[in-house]
């Protein structure tokens, strides 16, 4: 009895000592530093919040010590699509704050401005959203965990032409992802027999959709193909389409997943019903991984939005960063990180993902989805899938 007690007592004391030593080791080493660049303020702050929440949920689930090394996240605000600010923030994070890796980045122009900075400094840059095809060609230190517009809209072009949509008018935001969307939707759609009857590029900041909607109504296409950055703009466009009677005329809205993203979908109301989009993530995606992700997201932010396509990019980006740290036993050295991420594969809440080692871009399933009301909620219901889609833009 007393011997047993002594052994148990010693084992407990040793366990405590082990824990203290482990804690000391973590404290003795400098933390790994990750610079997270997002538009935390300004008109796109809701999307930055989505991405920040995606990062936070991952860290909450997996802790902030990876392979014995503390991971510190340094957050910086670009205030929107501001390439000069993004570039300066990346430089400061690298030179002054000594980050090991840069991540985040909602907007293409910001990612393009950061690319030469990470090349010169030899720092890995994990893109969690910015989705113009060309970005990954701008630095060998870039790996993308989000999506590309050509990857998402090409399947939709083929699907639309084969499903009764013959004439399409395209309306896209006048910058990288909009141009990519317009070009690649048109290519897939016309190759499958569809006809483009008009196209317009609208300003990235504060577009007023009324004149465009009026013009489209006069032309009477079967559908309008849309790319707008996620968030408020798709909501405003839908409102104009209702007010001007575009939908009442039977003209349909189709587009990339940004058009019906989950953060704003509920607020769009019944006019969103029947809108067809193609995308890599839906909150309504049915899988055990997504059920667990949604549950963790909602538990962490009970008053927050539903996780959307930008939140999943951030969550998966963080998972990839943690995997790279583990693979290097607590380090984030530049070239080994890129070498590791080039062949990274994971089961994401969106479905299976992998990185194409040739392009350092993501390969994933793209789904065609329809907005429906299910159990009282507006959701994008996936009904057709295209596995292992690469970025056709490169």
Q: Give the binding site for ligand PHB (CB under 6 A).
A: 106-108, 130-132, 177, 229-230, 258
Q: Residue 132 or residue 139: which is nearer to ligand PHB going by CB?
A: 132
Q: Residue 33 or residue 179: which is nearer to ligand PHB going by CB?
A: 179
SS (H, E, C) 301-326: CCCCCCCCHHHHHHHHHHHHHHHHHH
CA distance linking residue 230 with residue 251, whole number of Å: 22
Minimal distance, residue 137 CB to ligand PHB, in Å:
15
Minimal distance, residue 130 CB to ligand PHB, in Å:
4
Minimal distance, residue 229 CB to ligand PHB, in Å:
4
- 367 strand-pairing partners: 279, 385
Non-local (6+) Cβ contacts of 374 within 8 A are 284, 381
- 278 strand-pairing partners: 256, 368
Q: Residue 43 or residue 336: which is nearer to ligand PHB going by CB?
A: 43
CA distance linking residue 296 with residue 72, whole number of Å: 21
Q: How far is CA 117 from CA 87, 100, 121, in A?
A: 7, 13, 6
Q: Residue 52 or residue 258: which is nearer to ligand PHB going by CB?
A: 258
Minimal distance, residue 148 CB to ligand PHB, in Å:
9
284: nearest Cα among 355, 362, 376, 354: 376
Residues present in the chain in total: 394
CA distance linking residue 149 with residue 144, whole number of Å: 13
Minimal distance, residue 149 CB to ligand PHB, in Å:
7
Q: Residue 133 or residue 328: which is nearer to ligand PHB going by CB?
A: 133
Helix (H, G, I), strand (E, B) or coil at 349: coil
Q: Residue 204 or residue 216: which is nearer to ligand PHB going by CB?
A: 204
Minimal distance, residue 151 CB to ligand PHB, in Å:
12
């Amino acid at each position: 009895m007393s011997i047993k007690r002594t052994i148990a007592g010693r084992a407990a004391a040793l366990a405590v000592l082990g824990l203290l030593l482990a804690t000391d080791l973590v404290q003795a080493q400098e933390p790994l530093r990750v610079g997270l660049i997002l538009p935390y303020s300004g008109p796109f702050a809701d999307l930055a919040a989505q991405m920040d929440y995606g990062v936070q949920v991952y860290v909450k689930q997996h802790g902030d010590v990876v392979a014995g090394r503390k991971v510190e996240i340094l957050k910086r605000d670009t205030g929107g699509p501001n390439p000069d600010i993004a570039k300066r923030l990346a430089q400061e994070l690298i030179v002054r704050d000594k980050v090991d890796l840069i991540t985040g980045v909602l907007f293409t122009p910001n990612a393009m401005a950061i690319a030469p900075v990470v090349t010169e400094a030899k720092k890995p840059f994990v893109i969690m959203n910015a989705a113009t095809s060309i970005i990954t060609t701008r630095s060998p230190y870039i790996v993308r965990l989000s999506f590309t517009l050509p990857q998402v809209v090409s399947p939709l072009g083929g699907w639309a032409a084969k499903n009764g949509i013959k004439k399409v008018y395209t309306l896209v935001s006048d910058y990288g992802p909009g141009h990519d969307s317009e070009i690649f939707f048109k290519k897939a759609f016309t190759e499958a027999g569809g006809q483009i009857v008009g196209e317009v590029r609208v300003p990235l900041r504060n577009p007023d959709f009324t004149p465009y909607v009026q013009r489209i109504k006069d032309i009477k296409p079967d559908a309008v193909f849309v790319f707008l950055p996620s968030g408020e703009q798709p909501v405003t466009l839908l409102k104009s389409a209702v007010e001007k009677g575009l939908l009442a005329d039977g003209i349909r809205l189709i587009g990339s997943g940004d058009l019906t993203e989950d953060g704003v979908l509920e607020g769009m109301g019944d006019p969103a019903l029947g809108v067809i989009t193609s995308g890599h993530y839906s909150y309504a995606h049915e899988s055990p991984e997504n059920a667990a992700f949604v549950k963790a997201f909602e538990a962490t932010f009970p008053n927050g939005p539903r996780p959307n396509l930008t939140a999943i990019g951030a969550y998966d980006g963080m998972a990839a960063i943690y995997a790279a740290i583990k693979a290097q036993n607590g380090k984030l050295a530049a070239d080994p990180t890129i070498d590791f991420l080039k062949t990274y594969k994971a089961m994401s809440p969106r479905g299976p993902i992998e990185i194409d080692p040739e392009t350092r871009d993501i390969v994933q399933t793209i789904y065609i989805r329809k907005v429906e009301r299910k159990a009282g909620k507006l959701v994008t219901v996936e009904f057709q899938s295209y596995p292992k889609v690469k970025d056709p833009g490169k």
